[in-house]
């Protein structure tokens, strides 16, 4: 396949001067003393893009994505290595970049065409398609400074894709505009790729990258850390982002204290977990909001991992045990205790308790306490979750039945992490559903 | 051999530049119109300011030099009208100083175009030059008419004026390329230039005649490119028949050297504009 963009050991070095004066000093220094320190924004970038291929660039802020695009466009000068490009480049480097706000939309389009090397006649021929695509009406003959952000990006995009480039470079431009325009631009880019145009994107929209690109390049601190399938790149990227930003709460181990040892205990012995142990490492405090009808009180909650450490951290697929100490203030029948899990945008991810597993809790009389342990296996994506605890039951006042409950929300956060190699990840997506794989190899008959 | 090679490559660069100007003529036109518009939109008198400003300046200078300081023009001035004589010298100076002072900041002003697209930034100083040229063309027209009316003679020498305008423009273009590109790297250039131009005005025989300068210092005067410009304008506008060829030759060499040197500096510094802006 024919190569349209070829990078070989490309690198960009910036010279950082702490003070502007230093720049002058270095310029005028008779023996050429250096006053700057070097910063490699990009180093050792080598990859080829065949014709018609779509490449996505991934990486955190400051990883060098935009610098790389600017180098490919030829706006910045390479410090080392080579970049070869074949064909006309159309670039959307930033919203409205390259447009002059004093000029009308039409004039800007014509000028853009001239920069790209089209003649006036060619541009006039393409003009109707551009105006039609941008769909900004009479504003095409108004200076661009009065444009709304949406109109700006519409025209910029219309101009970039309708000039029949051999190479299209798009930096974050897909994320602007309303949903209709986003879809339209999405489809257009797809068509352009199919028609044989080479594309390079930078986007933080993982879905866009996944559906548009054949190849993804992952940049970290100016170097390529992965190049290959977009799905794999997105996985590596999202894990590396999480690793960097999530605070993992420490796990603490407390030596269990037998109930006999605490002399003032008014609870009888308990094989699940002595109430004093729950209260001693209670995650609830005075500020915790307790909702409910008052028939029951959640006195304490304790969260342990499988090694008996008090923690809010679970490795993916690891089980945490939620202990709850509940006191009945009246006679309560049909008690149900549940743990609820919510993600960072409030999605109710999971809720489960004794009723869901057909575990019956006997009726409680006033003053009686209940200890419940719910083990939850965190087969969910590596993220932060908030959890809540709720207890429900029926109480009677005379002949009437009441639904009584007590509830505590917004506990946590529980941090789920994944630290093993990405290739061993047990599932993709939000949560792991029970699944299984079977296979048979069939030999070709004859 | 090396020299010939250099010359050939120079020719190639020049051809490429002209081709680029032709390809981007629409943009150049837009840039020129924008500059003209931005200068006068919203003002009541509009384009007339291009004339009002120098006229008021000239009247002020005339008042000070002619009436307060009682300066009298020598016979070689070609006219008795101090005002006309001053105008002839001041017009090219304003053309030069305004263009250069505006151009020194032009790349910084158009930062977005340079850092975010492949913009032919060498056209920006050219566009300002062209816009100022149009501006001053109006002035030249008025001065020309005034000169004919006041001196009551119309000589063939007035045809030299476009040549002088062209040579001065070449000089300004090269100078603009040089200062604008250097200013990207060292913003002090703009400040230095302001000081320099303020002094340069008085070291150029605009408000005084070269003959008023002591004999020994007159050679020093001839090191100043603007000396030949001001002299040339006066000679052609006021119809003084003397020393035309020598001055024009010097100016031609200066213009070409300035354009090549400025173009060379600009070309060398251009790849790093995006980084420095």
Torsional class of B89: left (φ above 0), alpha (ψ -120 to 50), beta (otherwise)? alpha
**Cβ under 8 Å to A: B residues 138-167:** none
For residue range A27-36, list pLDDT tens digits in order.
Answer: 767 777 777 8
User: Domain limits of chain B?
Assistant: 36-276
Task: Please give the pLDDT value at position A28.
Answer: 67
Residues in chain A closer than 8 A to B275 (CB atoms):
14, 76-77
Task: Please give the pLDDT value at position A372.
Answer: 93
A114 touches chain B (CB under 8 A): yes
Residues in chain B closer than 8 A to A24 (CB atoms):
186, 188
B115 touches chain A (CB under 8 A): yes
Torsional class of B276: left (φ above 0), alpha (ψ -120 to 50), beta (otherwise)? alpha
With contact defined as beta carbons under 8 Å apart, do A299 and A326 qualify?
yes
How do strand A333-343 and strand A384-397 relate by DSSP bridges?
A: antiparallel
Task: Please give the pLDDT value at position A175.
Answer: 63
- Partner residue facing B113 (CB), from A73, A98, A119: A98
Distance, CA of B260 to CA of B252 (rounded, Å): 12
Q: Residue B56 has which token pair? A: 């008021």
Give the number of other CB atoms < 10 A from CB of residue B110: 16
- Strands of B152-264 (E only): list them: none
Q: Residue A433 has which token pair? A: 């559903």
Instruction: Tell me the DSSP string of A393-428.
Output: EEEEETTEEEEEEEEEEEEEEEEEE--S-GGG-S--
Q: Is A341 exposed, middle or buried (0-12, 13-18, 19+ CB in 10 A)?
A: buried
Contact between chains at B117 and A77 (C-beta distance less than 8 A): no
DSSP secondary-structure letter at B104?
A: T
Q: Is A56 exposed, middle or buried (0-12, 13-18, 19+ CB in 10 A)?
A: buried
Q: Can you list the domains of chain A with their CATH numbers? A: 3-245 (3.40.50.300), 252-424 (2.70.50.60)
Q: Is B137 exposed, middle or buried (0-12, 13-18, 19+ CB in 10 A)?
A: middle
Quote the minimal CA–CA distance from B276 to chain A in Å.
10
N-term to C-term CA, chain A: 36
For residue range A114-152, list pLDDT tens digits in order.
Answer: 878 788 888 889 999 999 988 888 999 988 889 888 888
Q: Residue B237 has which token pair? A: 């506008």
Distance, CA of A102 to CA of A112 (rounded, Å): 14
Contact between chains at B272 and A77 (C-beta distance less than 8 A): yes
Q: What is the largest CA-CA distance in chain A?
A: 102
The residues that bridge with A296 in the sheet, in sequence order, are A328
> Would you say the C-alpha torsion A36, A42, A46, A48 has a positive or negative sign?
negative
With contact defined as beta carbons under 8 Å apart, do A70 and A76 qualify?
yes
- Would you mind telling me the total number of residues written for chain A in this entry? 446
Distance, CA of B199 to CA of A228 (rounded, Å): 63
Task: Please give the pLDDT value at position A174.
Answer: 59
pLDDT: which is higher, A92 or A21? A92
Mean pLDDT of successive 10-residue stretches along chain B, which has 277 residues: 75 83 82 80 72 82 83 74 85 92 91 82 91 85 80 76 90 94 87 92 88 83 88 82 77 92 88 81
Q: Which residues contact B149 (CB under 8 A, 6 or more apart)?
A: none
Q: What is the ipTM of this complex?
A: 0.73
Mean of all residue pLDDT scores within chain A: 84
Quote the minimal CA–CA distance from B268 to chain A in Å.
12
Q: Would you tell me the crossing angle of helices B82-103 and B49-61 to the nearest 10 degrees?
A: 130
For residue range A196-254, list pLDDT tens digits in order.
Answer: 899 998 877 777 788 888 899 999 888 999 998 888 888 888 777 665 556 667 777 77
Distance, CA of A211 to CA of A380 (rounded, Å): 24
Q: Is A319 helix (H, G, I), strand (E, B) or coil?
A: strand
pLDDT confidence tier of residue A258, bands split at 50, 70 and 90: low
DSSP secondary-structure letter at B63?
A: I
N-term to C-term CA, chain B: 39
Q: Which residues contact A157 (CB under 8 A, 6 or more apart)?
A: A92, A133, A134, A173, A177, A181, A185, A188
A21 touches chain B (CB under 8 A): no
Q: Does a cis peptide bond (omega within 30 degrees of 0) precede residue A413? A: yes
Distances (CA, A) of B54 to A238, A342, A352, B64, B87: 65, 74, 87, 15, 8
Q: Which residues contact B220 (CB under 8 A, 6 or more apart)?
A: none
Q: What are phi and psi of B176, to 5 degrees?
A: -65, -45
Residue recorded with tokens 């200062």: B179
Give the number of other CB atoms < 10 A from CB of residue A218: 23
Residues in chain A closer than 8 A to B185 (CB atoms):
23, 27
Residues in chain B closer than 8 A to A93 (CB atoms):
116-117
């Amino acid at each position: 396949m024919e190569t349209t963009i070829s990078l070989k050991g490309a690198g960009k070095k910036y010279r950082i001067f702490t003070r502007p004066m230093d720049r002058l000093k270095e310029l005028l220094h008779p023996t050429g003393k250096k006053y700057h320190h070097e910063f490699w924004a990009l180093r050792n970038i080598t990859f080829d893009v065949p014709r018609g291929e779509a490449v996505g660039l991934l990486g955190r802020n400051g990883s060098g994505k935009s610098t790389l695009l600017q180098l490919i466009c030829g706006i910045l000068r390479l410090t080392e290595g080579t970049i070869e490009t074949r064909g006309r480049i159309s670039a959307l480097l930033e919203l409205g970049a390259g447009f002059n706000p004093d000029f009308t939309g039409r004039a800007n389009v014509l000028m853009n065409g001239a920069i790209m090397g089209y003649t006036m006649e060619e541009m006039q021929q393409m003009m109707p398609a551009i105006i039609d695509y941008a769909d900004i009406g009479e504003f095409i003959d108004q200076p661009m400074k009065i444009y709304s952000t949406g109109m700006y990006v519409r025209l910029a995009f219309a101009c970039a894709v309708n000039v029949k480039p051999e190479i299209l470079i798009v930096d974050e431009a897909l994320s602007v505009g309303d949903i209709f325009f986003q879809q339209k631009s999405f489809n257009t880019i797809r068509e352009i790729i199919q028609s044989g145009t080479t594309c390079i994107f930078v986007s933080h929209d993982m879905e866009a990258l996944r559906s548009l690109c054949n190849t993804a390049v992952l940049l970290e601190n100016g170097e390529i850390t992965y190049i290959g399938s977009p799905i794999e790149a997105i996985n590596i990227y999202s894990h590396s982002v999480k690793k960097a930003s999530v605070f993992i709460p420490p796990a603490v181990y407390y030596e269990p204290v037998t109930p006999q040892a605490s002399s003032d205990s008014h609870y009888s012995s308990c094989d699940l977990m002595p109430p004093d142990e729950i209260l001693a490492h209670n995650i609830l405090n005075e500020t915790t909001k307790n909702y409910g009808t008052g028939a029951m009180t959640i006195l304490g909650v304790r969260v342990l991992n499988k090694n008996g450490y008090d923690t809010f951290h679970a490795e993916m697929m690891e089980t945490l045990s939620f202990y709850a100490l509940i006191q009945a203030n009246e006679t309560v029948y049909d008690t149900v205790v549940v743990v609820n899990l919510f993600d960072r945008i409030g999605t109710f991810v999971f809720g489960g308790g004794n009723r869901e597993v057909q575990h019956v809790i006997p009726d409680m009389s006033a003053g009686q306490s209940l200890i419940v342990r719910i083990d939850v296996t965190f087969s969910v994506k590596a993220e932060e979750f908030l959890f809540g605890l709720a207890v429900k039951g029926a109480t009677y006042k005379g002949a009437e039945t009441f639904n009584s409950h007590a509830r505590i929300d917004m506990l946590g956060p529980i941090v789920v992490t994944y630290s093993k190699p990405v290739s061993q990840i047990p599932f993709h997506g939000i949560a792991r559903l029970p699944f299984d794989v079977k296979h048979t190899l069939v030999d070709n008959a004859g | 051999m090396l020299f010939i090679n250099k010359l050939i490559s120079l020719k190639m660069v020049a051809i490429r530049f002209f081709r680029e100007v032709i390809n981007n003529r629409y943009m150049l036109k837009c840039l020129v119109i924008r500059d003209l518009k931005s200068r006068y939109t919203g003002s009541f008198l509009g384009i007339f300011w291009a004339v009002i400003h120098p006229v008021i300046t000239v009247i002020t200078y005339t008042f000070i030099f002619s009436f307060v300081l009682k300066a009298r023009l020598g016979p070689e001035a070609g006219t008795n009208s101090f005002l006309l004589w001053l105008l002839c010298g001041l017009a090219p100076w304003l053309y030069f100083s305004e263009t250069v002072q505006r151009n020194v900041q032009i790349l910084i002003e158009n930062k977005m175009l340079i850092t975010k697209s492949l913009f032919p930034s060498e056209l920006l100083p050219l566009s300002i030059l062209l816009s100022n040229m149009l501006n001053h063309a109006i002035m030249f027209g008025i001065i020309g008419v005034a000169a004919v009316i006041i001196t009551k003679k119309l000589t063939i020498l007035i045809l030299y004026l476009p040549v002088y305008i062209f040579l001065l423009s070449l000089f300004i273009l090269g100078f603009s390329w040089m200062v604008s590109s250097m200013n990207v790297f060292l913003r002090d250039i703009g400040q230095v230039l302001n000081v320099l131009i303020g002094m340069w005005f008085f070291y150029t025989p605009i408000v005084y005649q070269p003959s008023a300068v002591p004999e020994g210092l007159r050679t020093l005067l001839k090191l100043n490119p603007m000396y030949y410009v001001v002299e040339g304008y006066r000679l052609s506008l006021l119809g003084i028949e003397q020393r035309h060829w020598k001055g024009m030759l010097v100016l031609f060499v200066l213009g070409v050297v300035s354009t090549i040197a400025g173009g060379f500096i600009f070309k060398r510094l251009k790849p790093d504009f995006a980084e420095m802006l």
